[in-house]
């Protein structure tokens, strides 16, 4: 893979850069998107690692560690009440909505590969979503394997209490990848295949530091595709990007205007 210096637009109002991005989208035949926490911060959801993120307030190695959860699920649910079990009050951001509309119009056939667990891509209407770190939308009993929805556990979880299985009274665990859990292999393989077949991958709101998920855009580059990065902070792949922007809101507002996506804001 040859290292090339990207076109970096410090001023996201530079229309020539955004026009090139739009041109890439319109000419692409197999575009996909890779999203991180920055996409959901636009919906008012705090990220984990950034400035002012959730990890500033809690011990992540305890809250999201499977061995700790197995021993004492109360710690997770006490803290998740505020950070996780308010997601039903959040609405998809501009970026979520645009990605769903691009997929519906045939401009994003590779779908969305996401590091997020908040279900907002589905809520926005995206049909092909690969959730690398699982999803808060589902919960599973650690004793009998019984499945439950976010809505099923919400009455207890929103009070900081441990939700129990309706069948055996075992502890319900969110279908989220904790530290010590394996990533869902089928989803990971699907994500790598989608990225490898993409001639264009939009890398949005991710600092690309959490592995192995962060290595997925390399599959696009290794197979001759292009990546476009939109993220506030630097990423390890900035020097490989075809285009590099910093402000998701401004870039996607321009995409909305170009494609005439009425009703999206």
- For 241-261, the pLDDT digits (tens) are 999 999 999 999 999 999 999
CB atoms within 10 A of CB 52: 10
Residue 114 pLDDT: 97
Distance CA 53, CA 47 (A): 5
Selecting from 3.30.565.10, 3.90.870.10, 3.40.50.960, 3.30.1600.10, what CATH number does the domain 47-89+134-176 have?
3.30.1600.10
Q: Is the per-residue pLDDT at 34 higher than 90?
A: yes
The pLDDT tens digits of the residues spanning 82-107 come to: 889 999 999 999 999 999 999 999 99
Element housing 228 (H / E): strand 226-230
> What topology is assigned to 1-45+92-133+184-265 in CATH?
Rossmann fold (3.40.50)
List residues with catalytic annotation.
133
Annotate 209-230 with b (16+ C-beta within 10 A) or e (fewer): ebeebbebbbbbbeeebbbbbb
Q: Is the per-residue pLDDT at 54 higher than 70?
A: no
Predicted confidence band of residue 2 (pLDDT cuts 50, 70, 90)? very low
Give domain limits for the chain. Answer: 1-45+92-133+184-265, 47-89+134-176
């Amino acid at each position: 893979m040859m290292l090339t210096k990207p076109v970096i637009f410090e001023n996201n109002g530079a229309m020539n850069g955004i026009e090139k991005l739009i041109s890439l989208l319109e000419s692409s035949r197999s575009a996909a998107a890779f999203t991180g926490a920055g996409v959901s911060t636009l919906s008012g959801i705090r990220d984990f690692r950034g400035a002012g993120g959730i990890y500033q307030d809690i011990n992540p190695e305890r809250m999201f560690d499977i061995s700790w959860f197995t021993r004492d699920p109360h710690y997770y649910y006490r803290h998740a009440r505020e950070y996780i079990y308010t997601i039903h009050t959040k609405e998809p951001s501009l970026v979520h909505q645009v990605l769903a509309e691009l997929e519906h119009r045939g401009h994003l056939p590779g779908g969305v590969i996401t590091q997020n667990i908040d279900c907002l891509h589905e809520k926005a209407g995206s049909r092909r979503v690969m959730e690398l770190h699982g999803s808060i939308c589902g919960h599973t009993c650690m004793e009998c394997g019984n499945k439950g929805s976010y809505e099923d556990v919400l009455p207890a979880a929103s009070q900081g209490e441990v939700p129990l299985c309706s069948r055996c009274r075992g502890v319900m665990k969110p279908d989220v990848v904790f530290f010590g859990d394996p990533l869902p292999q089928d989803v990971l393989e699907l994500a790598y295949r989608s990225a490898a077949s993409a001639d264009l991958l939009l890398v949005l709101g991710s600092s690309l530091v959490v592995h192995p998920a962060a290595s997925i855009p390399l599959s696009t580059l290794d197979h001759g595709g292009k990546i476009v990065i939109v993220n506030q902070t630097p990423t390890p792949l900035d020097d490989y990007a075809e285009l590099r922007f910093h402000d998701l809101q401004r870039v996607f507002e321009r995409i909305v205007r170009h494609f005439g996506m009425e009703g999206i804001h």
